[in-house]
Structure formats: structure tokens, C-alpha cells
Structure 1
Amino acid sequence: MSFQHFSRLPLAFRQTCRRLGVPLTRFVLLVILRTQRMQLVQSRADFVGSDCLASGTFRVSTSRFGIGQAKNSNCTPLGLHRVASKVGGGWPVGAVFKSRRMVGYTWAGCHGAAITNRILWLEGLEPGANRGGHVDTLARYIYIHGTGDEPGLGRPASHGCIHLSAADLLPLYDLVPCGTLVWIAA
């Protein structure tokens, strides 16, 4: 994989990591809701310099209901998260999931399925903002996952999750470990 130079991680991301004492991970996923894009960056130096390499920008779809942290809002939460667990490794492209269990295939009658291919389950790291109580990202089942509506990527369409194409999600799933930091910004 070739990497382009990416000079800095967002200031708000770096400040939040410092405030919470969260160390920089080898990879960081930056999700920008305004542009419906996600960028994968790889740390190249220490956290102080925040010098990174960008390895890719991906079209995503986030919530059609907007930004929000609250349970049952169907909104995409903001802030610092990490990949808490990964689901779906080893299943073929087109696997469809319900409650994190494989239930069928897109080519076998599950066209337009909501959750496909792989799941990166997110956990909020900011107490009171996206962790704990009625704002808990993990308890809200917020994922980065595949979708049966790939032509719709690039515009808000989800119920809070971050949708990604199979072509982008499968290699990303194999590359990033659990614990990888995810920054979601407006």
C-alpha cells in the first residue's frame, strides 16, 4: 500500500486524546460528516508531532437523521471512538448480518440489506458525550459496516452507522486492529 504525506491529525482529535490520556494508535480513521468521507491515516512519528501518512479516502454514508449522541436518535455520534470489536472475518463478500450474526447473502434474496460484509463495532471514549448512560455509542450499536445500497454512498442514508463499500471495507477490516481510534467530526 502506498502512502501520501498527511501533515496533521485534526487539532480537536489531538486535544481530546491528550485530555483523556488516550495514546495514538498505528492507524486512525477520520470520518467527516459534512463531506461524507472517511480517511485512513497511519501514524509515522510520535504523538507530539502527529506526522502521519494518508493511505486512502473513502466515500461513506452516515445518518440521514443528522448528528446526535442520544440513544434511539438514529443519529451519527461525534467525537473520539475506537474499534471495540470486529465481526464477519472470513465470510464471503455479500454476507448479510443481523444482530452481528450472518443470516444470508445479498445474491441469495437479501438485496438492499442494511448490514453487509463486515462490522467494525465502535465504542465511545468520551464519558458523558459518547460513553455511558443514554449516549453510549457501543450500547447504541454504532458500526462501520457494509451496505446493500452502495450506489447511495456519499450522501446521508444510515440510521446512525457509517456505511462503506465492500471494496473499501474488506481490506480495511483486515488492516485495522481492534483498538484503532476513530474520530467522527461534523
Structure 2
Amino acid sequence: MKNIQKTDKQLVINIAEQTLTIYQQQTEVTKYSVSTAKNGMGGQQDSGCTPLGQHIIAEKIGDRSPINAVFVGREPTGERYSAALGAQHPERDWILSRILWLRGLQKGINTGSNSQGSCDTYQRYIYIHGTPDSEPMGVPLSHGCVRMRNTDIIELFEQVEEGTPVMIVAD
């Protein structure tokens, strides 16, 4: 298991504001509009909720992939998202451009399990990832992940390392 990276950067995802903020040495550097879970906050398996608490970026996936590259099971399919492809597959939850796979650090909250069952962010495949540009930001609509504009996730991907701390807060 990877440990927290010795870095002066931290990401804070604020669910009430629907924002992701990069802090460097505790100073705000950049703020992005995001979309978290339509089902609200929570860590339980199959809840469709965005987990709260302390996390790290466990894995960075998609380096050098083209913008709008489609991922299924964390693997590029070779497809590039377009409105026509979206219309052909309306059932898909589009994961595009880059993936930052999160791992929870708080036992019983976002890693391992608790009295209600599994609550493991990593095993739930919770990511920060790109989504079609037609999807609104600033509105909770995801299935648990943190969605971003494709240009924003590519920019963020270049600024962070595996092990970078990520705090997900309610407000």
C-alpha cells in the first residue's frame, strides 16, 4: 500500500460547493468546478455516494492518452468520446481522458468495512476523472466519482503525484 507522498500539495473536494481546490503549502492555487454523486455523501459499497474523509491518489491512469479517450475498467478502449458515440451508448457512465484512483485512509469510514459492510473507496473504484463536456459541472450527478471537465482533469493530472493527499469534505 502506498503512503502519503511527501508533497506540499493537497486537494480538497468540497461537496457543498462542488469544487476541487489545489492547495500548495496551504495556499489556494487553483479551483475547479466538479460534479460529485447524485446520491449524496457516503462510503458504503453500491451506495452510489461520494465518500468523505482523508484519501490519497493511489494510481494515475491515462498519461499521454488523447483528450476524450474512453476508459472501461481503467483500460483505454481506443475510442474517443463524441456526441455521436454518446448517443450510440446512452447507458454508459463515461470515464474520459484521465483517471486519478483514490484510496481511503480512515478505517471503517473509507477503507475496509464497518457494521454496514464494505466502505472501501479503492475497492469501490472511486476516481477523479473526465466526463463529456455536455455534462454539467457544479451539480451532483455522478455515480460516486468526482467528475471534471476533460481539459481540467488533464491539467490536474500533470500537477499531482501518486500519494498526493485528497480530503473530501461535506462543506
**TM-score normalized by the length of structure 1:** 0.80
Q: Which amino acid aligns with 1:56?
A: T
Q: Which has the higher helix share?
A: 1
Quote the residue 1:34 is aligned against.
16
CA shift for structure 1 position 110: 3.0
Q: Pick closer, same or farther for the CA change 1:105–1:28 going to 2, 3 Å.
A: same
Secondary structure of residue in 2 paired with 1:93? coil
Q: Pick closer, same or farther for the CA change 1:60–1:72 going to 2, 3 Å.
A: same
The unaligned stretches of length 5 or more in structure 2 are none
Could you tell me whether the CA contact under 8 Å between 2:111 and 2:119 is conserved in 1? Answer: yes
The unaligned stretches of length 5 or more in structure 1 are 1-21, 44-51
Quote the residue 1:105 is aligned against.
80
Q: Could you tell me how far apart the structure 2 residues matched to 1:171 and 1:105 are?
A: 18
Aligned residue pairs, count: 158
Larger-gyration structure (1/2):
1
1:116 matched to 2:96: yes
Equivalent residue runs for 1:123-134 within 5 Å:
123-133=103-113, 134=118
**Structure 1 consecutive aligned stretches of length 4 or more whose deviation exceeds 4 Å:** none
Q: Which amino acid aligns with 2:126?
A: I
Q: Describe the superposition over 1:11-60 as per-residue Cα deviations: whole angstroms up to 9, x where unpaired.
A: xxxxxxxxxxx6873211100000101100012xxxxxxxx221111000
Higher relative contact order (CA 8 A, sep 6+): 2
The partner residue of 1:96 within 38, 46, 70 is 70
Aligned-pair identity (%): 39
Q: Which amino acid aligns with 1:136?
A: D
Secondary structure of residue in 2 paired with 1:41? strand
